[in-house]
Amino acid sequence: QKQQFVVLTGSLRQGSYHAAITRALPELAPANVQVSQLGSIGEFPLYNADIQEQGMPEAVTTMANAIAAADGLIIVSPEYNYSVPGVLKNALDWLSRCNPQPIAGKPVMIVSGSPGNFGGARMQYHLRQILVFFDAKVLNKPEAMIGQVHTKVEELQLVDADTREFLSKQLLSFTVFASH
């Protein structure tokens, strides 16, 4: 029985470095693990309780069901202004209103990158705080923060060998973490 992880990407940009990292994860995962990409959070409307009262948007329910069915959730996101990008917070706000809330008790791994040296570290600590409300089971260590990310992606692919090796070790740690 393969473990199944799903990946949520926190950038909507066509040439996104985080989308490139997301696309690399399936091939970097251990053989007994299947990694698949969730739909785009760009399909979610801006959170509005009036919309929710008319029924959860389909994109939200589809993602919530996929997360609920998975053995683990991986969030790959940039840092915006030292915090979580608004589009990611919006997606999490929607998901938090689903019943049952799909991230409760779910193993979660965070990956961030940045063209700077800090690799989105500050965003990760805000995201961890949000995930406290969700009652997620977040992997504390090892951490995955990728500095100088723009030098590691070429033609929309994560090509840097060291980063690929680092992420495959990270996925192995998460696989062990998620299995108990």
* DSSP state at residue 41: G
Nearer residue to ligand FNR within complex by CB, 98 or 127: 127
Residues engaged in binding ligand FNR (CB under 6 A): 11, 13, 16-18, 78-82, 114-116, 118, 120
Compare residues 21 and 60 and give the one whose CB is closer to ligand FNR: 21
Closer by beta carbon to ligand FNR, 82 or else 133: 82
CB of 179 to ligand FNR, least distance (A): 29
* Minimum gap (Å) between residue 25 Cβ and ligand FNR: 14
73 — phi, psi (to 5°)?
-120, 135
Min CB(23)–ligand FNR separation in Å: 12
112 vs 76: CA distance, rounded Å:
6
- For the chain, helix (H) and strand (E) counts, in that order, are 6, 8
| Contact assessment for residue 95 and residue 67, using Cβ atoms and an 8 Å cutoff | yes
